[in-house]
Structure 1
Amino acid sequence: MSKWIGVELEGTLAEYNERFPNQIGEPVNAMLLRVKGWLNEGKTVKVLSRRAKAGSSNYEVNSWLRNQGLSMLEVVPMEKDMASLWSARAVRVELNDGKLCNGCKHVPENQFHQQGGGRETYTMTDYYTLTDC
Structure 2
Amino acid sequence: MLSAIKKILHRINQNPSDNIEAMPDAAPHGPWFGVDLDGTLAVWNETSTLNSIGAPIPAMIDMVRRMVDNDIRVKIFTARACDPAQIPKIRAWMAQNGLPDLEITNVKDFYMERLYDDRAIRVERNTGRIL
TM-score by length of 2: 0.56
- Residue 41 of structure 1 corresponds to 70
Q: 1 CA distance for matches of 2:117 and 2:47? A: 23
Aligned position for 1:32: 61
Q: Distance in 2 between matches of 1:13 and 1:68?
A: 11
Which structure 1 residue ranges, 5 or more long, are not aligned?
79-87, 96-102, 104-109, 113-133
**1:2 match: secondary structure:** coil
Q: Compare relative contact order (CA 8 Å, sep 6+) and give the higher one, 1 or 2.
A: 2
In the other structure, the counterpart of 2:99 is: 70
Partners of 2:86 and 2:116 in 1: CA distance: 28
Q: Is 2:87 the counterpart of 1:58? A: yes
3-state DSSP class of the match of 1:75? strand
What is the CA-CA distance between 1:77 and the residue it aligns to? 2.6
In the alignment, which residue of structure 2 is the partner of 1:117?
none
Which range is displaced more, 5-14 or 43-52?
A: 43-52
Q: Structure 2 vs 1, CA of residues 59 and 90 (structure 1 numbering), >3 Å: closer, same or farther?
A: closer
SS of 1:5's partner is strand
Give the unaligned 5+ runs of structure 2. 1-28, 108-112, 123-128
Following superposition, the deviation at residue 9 of structure 1 comes to 0.3
Q: Per residue, is there more helix in 1 or in 2?
A: 2
Go from structure 1 to structure 2 and tell me whether the alpha carbon gap of 1:46 and 1:61 turns closer, same or farther (over 3 Å shift).
same
CA RMSD, 1 decimal: 3.3
The 5-angstrom pairing of residues 7-18 of structure 1 reads 7-18=35-46
Aligned CA distance change for structure 1 residues 12 and 52 (closer, same or farther; 3 Å): same
Mark the structure with the bigger radius of gyration: 1
Cα deviation for residue 18 of structure 1 reads 2.2
C-alpha distance in structure 2 between counterparts of 1:15 and 1:36, whole Å: 18
* Deviation digits for residues 79-116 of structure 1 (CA, Å, limit 9, x no counterpart): xxxxxxxxx954565x8xxxxxxx8xxxxxx8x9xxxx
